[in-house]
Amino acid sequence: MTHWAQRVVGRVLLTSEQIEEAVERLGSRITADYKDKELLVVGVLRGASVFLADLIRRIELPIVLDFISVSSYGNETKSSGIVRIIKDLSVPVKGKHVLMVEDVVDTGLTWAYLKQVLKAGNPESVKICSLLDKPEARKTEITVDYVGFTIGREFVVGYGLDWKERYRNLPFVMIPSKEAVEKGALGNGRTEE
């Protein structure tokens, strides 16, 4: 257990070893599926950054890498359903196979919106890879093409996923303790007294 985060961890949902195995599995599948194709990997900032860094090192192909930043959470623990693009792509998608990399797909609204925006640029294909999939939280019908783990509706933090912009650097995915959520968390991992 990482000492500085100990007081806010309710339960470790996914260990760093489990995550590493999933990333390896996904990288192998993506490598096989995109062999001899021009692949543009798009990381959805900021939550996917840790997963993306590990994943692209497991994709054994020459890729083009770009980033997009969207917001549907703000400082909340649930998606608002309103998607805003904060940073758009720098690389044109026309004729490319686009693979979006997300930290978590829950309502599906962000992915549905981004897929529509990307398709307007005439890519060869558009697919998504997500570390976490929460199908019980769907508000629209979508397909997640590459999934690390399917989980329930619980709010999770770590390995890129934040809680009020904190805890992205945890090497595991955890469910914050009920007490920590009710009291709020400070940047140093202590709960407010």
Phi/psi for 173 (5° steps) reads: -110, 130
pTM of the full structure: 0.87
Q: Is residue 66 annotated as part of the catalytic site, yes or no?
A: no
Which position among 33, 106, 145, 162 bears the catalytic label?
A: 106
Top CATH class, 17-155: alpha beta
pLDDT of the residue at 188: 46
In this prediction, residue 190 carries a pLDDT of: 40
Mean pLDDT, consecutive 10-residue segments, the chain of 193 residues?
Answer: 76 96 99 97 93 98 95 58 84 96 93 92 97 94 96 94 90 90 59 35
Give the residue extent of every domain in the chain: 17-155
